Amino acid sequence: MATVTSAARKLWDRGAILRELNLPPEEWVSFPHRVRLSGPSAADLVEYRADAQAWSRTLNDSAANAEWNLVTKRIRAGVLGMQTIPTAAIISTPTVALNLLGRAQTADASTYRELLAATEVLDYLAREIALRRPFDVLAAGDEWPILVKVAQWLLANPRPGIYVRQVPVPGLHTKVIEQHRPILTRLLDTVLAAADIAPQHSDFAHRFGFINEARSVRIRGDRGVLGLPLQGAEPTSHLESDAAPAARPALVHPTLGVLLTDDSLGDVTWPVTALAALDAPAVGVRELVVVENKISFLTTPHQPGRLILWGAGYGADQLLHALEWRDRVAVTYWGDLDTHGLHILDAVRARAPQVRSVLMDLDTLEAHKPYWGREGRQRAGALIHLTESEQLLYQALLHGEFGESLRLEQEYIGYERVAFALSTPSSR
C-alpha cells in the first residue's frame, strides 16, 4: 500500500493529478498509471508462506478499498505448486490517485478547479498555462482572479505607460505582481499580441509597457565601502544614510567574540542602480549576504568585506540579477524555513548558481521545535535548483512530515547559531 501511495504522491508533486482531474480522459498522459510491486520470489513463498499470504491479502484489501487495480501472475513455487502473486498496481484515474492522498490535497484540488474556472474568461491558451503550472495557480490562491483581470485589462489597454499600481483592478497592489510575477508573465506572454510585448526585457515593467518604478535596497556594510563618513568625520555622502554615530564603547558577544556594535558599520538605502554601479570587488567586498526578513537583516553579524542586503522576500532574484558583479563575490542566502522561503532560494540560485544557503536545512528546523509556526498557504511545485539538504527540507515541509503547513521564521533562530553559520564566508 505504501508503494502505491508513494507513487500517487509523486504524481501529485508533478502536478499530474491536478492537471488531469480537469482534462477529459482522452487527453490524459499520466493515467492509467502502473506501479511495480516488489513481491516474494518462488523460494520466499515456500519459506515464508504465511508472510507472503498476509502481504498478498493486504494488497487485495487495499486495492478493493481504494479502487485501484491489482495485476497478478502465476508462478511455480516448489512443493506449493502454482501460486498467484501481485506484481503491479494500476491507478486508473486521477480521482483514484487523489483518494490515496490526504484531506489537504483534496481541498487543494477543489480550490484549483474553482481557480481554473476564472481563466475561462480569457482564452484556451491561458487555460493551458494554468494547467501547466497548477501549483503556481494554487500559490496565487485568491489573487489568481486578480491576475486574470490584469491580463484582461492589458488585452484592452496594451502598453499603458502607467505605474503597475495604477491598473484599475480591485485588489491589485505591487506585492501581488512581485510575488506572482513568473506566472503572470507567462500568462501575459500567452494572451497579448506580440507587438505589445518587449521580449528583450526581463523586468515586468519594461516588458509590458509600464513605467518602471526604481527599486531601492537597504544595505549594511563597511562605512568606507558605502561612501559614508568614518567615526568623527563630517557627512559627505549624497545617498540616504545614517548619520555618523557618536563614539561609544564596543559591545562584544561574551562567548562568540563577535562585535555586537561596530562604528565601522553603515546602514544605507540605495537605488538598485547605484548598487549595481558599485565595483564591489574593487572596494574590498568579498561576500554578499542576502537576508529575507528585516529583523534578521538588522542583526546579521558583520565582518570586513561583507555586504548584507535586505532581500525583502520575493524579488530577491531580480535584485541579484541587477548586480553584474555578483559572480565575482561569494553569495549567501538566508531565508525562512517554509515552502515560500525555499521557492525564493530556488529563484535566487537560478540567477546566481554559486549561491549557498545557511540555516535552511532539517537540522535547523528540528533544533527550533518550540518556535515552529504555521504557513498560511504552502507553495508546491518542483524546485530544480535546490541542494540535496535543501530538497530534503522542502519535501518534509511539503508533505507534512513534522506537522501540517509547518514553518520556522528565521527571526527565531538563535543568534549564536547564526553567527557560527556565517563565521566563514562562502567559497565561490
pTM: 0.62
Check residue 213 and give its pLDDT: 73
Check residue 374 and give its pLDDT: 95
Mind spelling out the 3-state secondary structure of the chain? CHHHHHHHHHHHHCCHHHHHHCCCHHHCCCCCEEEECCCCCHHHHHHCHHHHHHHHHHHHHHHHHHCCEEEEEEEECHHHCEEEEEEEEEECCHHHHHHCCCHHHHHHHHHHHHHHHHHHHCCHHHHHHHHHCHHHHHHHHHHHHHHHHHHHHHHHCCCCCCCHHHCCCCCCCHHHHHHCHHHHHHHHHHHCCHHHCCCCCCCHHHHHCCCCCCCEEEEEEECCCCCCCCCCCCCCCCCCECCCCCCCCCCECCCCCCECCCCCEEEEEEEHHHHHHCCHHHHCCCEEEEECCHHHHHHCCCCCCEEEEECCCCCHHHHHHCCHHHHHCEEEEECCECHHHHHHHHHHHHHCCCCEECCCCHHHHHHCHHHCEECCCCCCCCCCCCCHHHHHHHHHHHCCCCCCCEEECHHHCCHHHHHHHCCCCCCC
What confidence tens digit (pLDDT) does each residue in 94-149 have? 999 999 998 999 999 999 999 998 888 777 778 888 998 899 899 889 899 999 99
Check residue 67 and give its pLDDT: 85
**Greater model confidence, 75 or 195:** 195
Q: Integer distance in angstroms from the first to the last C-alpha of the chain?
A: 45
126/132 Cα distance (integer angstroms): 10
Q: Give the phi and the psi of residue 17 in degrees, each rounded to 5.
A: -65, -50
347/259 Cα distance (integer angstroms): 32
pLDDT tier, 381 (very low <50, low <70, confident <90, very high otherwise) = confident
Strand-pair category, 287-291 with 330-334:
parallel
**Greater model confidence, 86 or 147:** 147
Candidates 129, 122, 174; CA nearest to 148 is 122
In the predicted structure, residue 401 carries a pLDDT above the cut 60: yes
- 323 class by beta-carbon count within 10 Å (0-12 exposed, 13-18 middle, 19+ buried): buried
For residues 149-174, give the mean pLDDT.
Answer: 90
Which amino acid makes up residue 162?
A: I
What confidence tens digit (pLDDT) does each residue in 240-273 have? 444 444 555 555 545 545 454 566 788 999 998 8
C-alpha cell at 31: 493515467
What confidence tens digit (pLDDT) does each residue in 286-336 have? 999 999 999 999 999 988 899 999 987 667 887 888 899 999 999 999 999
